[in-house]
Chain A
Amino acid sequence: MSLSVLAQEAAAEGITNTGLAALTYGIGALGPGIGIGYLVGQSVQAMARQPEAAGMVRTTMFLGIAFVEALALIGFVVFFLAQA
């Protein structure tokens, strides 16, 4: 079944496209949320174990966060596109 048919059926049952888009963004944010949590947790552990390497770990951590976060942000943009 195509996505547009699904959306039509949902609209007929009173579920709006906005609601679906919001729900989809919520699902899309799950993965990056877990990813960033894991990433920052491990980085904090690394910094605690070896404080002299904190600067390097921090730079790499922000870099990793930026890459993981991009997925959630693309979901955020798609949310607005789908909502229209």
Chain B
Amino acid sequence: MIFGAEFPPLSHIVNWPEFFGNDVWGVNKVVLVYLFAVILTMLVFVLGNKKQLVPTGAQNFAEIAVEFVEEGIVMDTMGPEGRKYTPLLLSFFFFIFFCNIFEVVPVIQMPATARIALPLVLALIAYFVYHGSGIKEHGPLGYFKHALIPPGVPAALLILILPIEFISKFLVQPFSHAVRLFANLLAGHILLVTFAVLSASVWSASPVAVILPLPVFGVIAFVAFEIMVSLLQAYVFTLLAGVYINAAISHEH
């Protein structure tokens, strides 16, 4: 109970009952969001692939979006040799964005990324891709040398540097990559729920409460804020995947 408002426990706002089926094969709201996001991501690929020279309608939009990812993320983080990773980063960006944006879509209002499962799987895919391409580029031994020994470190310090680099590159990096996306969206979801609960309780308490419309403005402002956050988090996740791939495949020393 906060200010007389009954706030639902955390498990009630991220757990959803199944529409049909049960256990592993059950389809609930989150699975539905996955399906929508997959379909929408495929749509972007199909529209962006059209060979029409003068784009019209949705193709226009898809081409701008694809160019944004290619120029703003791939070229910025990896340069021209990163072009072969464009499809991967493109699907990361759009899949995460569409999963996030269902946070503010009426009726659904549940970001699929607010459950740790999806960010974790995506971070693990990125993890295997960047370590895999690093091993392919440098060879197994060469890659570990490249990843664990920063250039210009005196040999005496290696005993200190090696464990730190190993823990940060192989253990903490995927964890923080996943938690960043998950916690941002969970926090946003809780924020919206909190303000919605507050508005509802103010609305129903008494007619005098009309002079206290603050939570309603809060909901409106935070919906706009969450649209920005879902775009930004998709961008940050993709950007970091690009940075990690670049760190794995680069030849600086």
Contact = CB atoms under 8 A, between A and B. Distances in A.
A76 B114 CA distance: 13
A11 interface: no
B180 A73 contact: yes
Interface string B66-83: 000000100011000000
Which DSSP category, helix, strand, loop or mixed, fits chain A's interface?
A: helix
Contact of B187 (A56, A65, A66, A76): A76
A67 to B, nearest CB: 8
A48 interface: no
A74 interface: yes
Interface stretch (B88-96, B192-200, B236-244): B236-244
Contact of A73 (B179, B239, B240): B179
B164 interface: no
A77 to B, nearest CB: 5
Interface string A36-69: 0000000000000000000110010011011001
B122 interface: no
A70 B236 contact: no
Contacts of B156: none
Contact of A62 (B182, B183, B187, B232): B232
A63 to B, nearest CB: 6
Interface residues of A, number: 14
A24 to B, nearest CB: 15
Interface of A: 55-56, 59, 62-63, 65-66, 69-70, 73-74, 76-77, 80
A59 B76 contact: yes
Given A59-B76, A73-B184, A66 B179 contact: no
A63 B77 CA distance: 11
B1 interface: no
B179 A63 contact: no
Q: Which 8 A-B pairs have the closest CB atoms?
A: A73-B183, A66-B236, A70-B176, A59-B76, A76-B183, A70-B180, A77-B183, A73-B180
Contacts of B235: 62
A38 B139 CA distance: 40
Contacts, number: 39
Nearest to A67: B176
Contacts of B183: 73-74, 76-77
Interface in B172-188: 176, 179-180, 182-184, 186-187
Nearest to A66: B236
20 contacts: A62-B235, A62-B236, A63-B236, A63-B239, A63-B243, A65-B236, A66-B240, A69-B180, A70-B180, A73-B180, A73-B183, A73-B184, A73-B187, A74-B179, A74-B183, A76-B183, A76-B186, A76-B187, A77-B182, A80-B10
Contacts of B176: 70, 74
Nearest to A69: B180
Interface in B140-195: 176, 179-180, 182-184, 186-187
B182 to A, nearest CB: 8
Interface string B48-82: 00000000000000000000000010001100000
Contacts of A66: 180, 236, 239-240
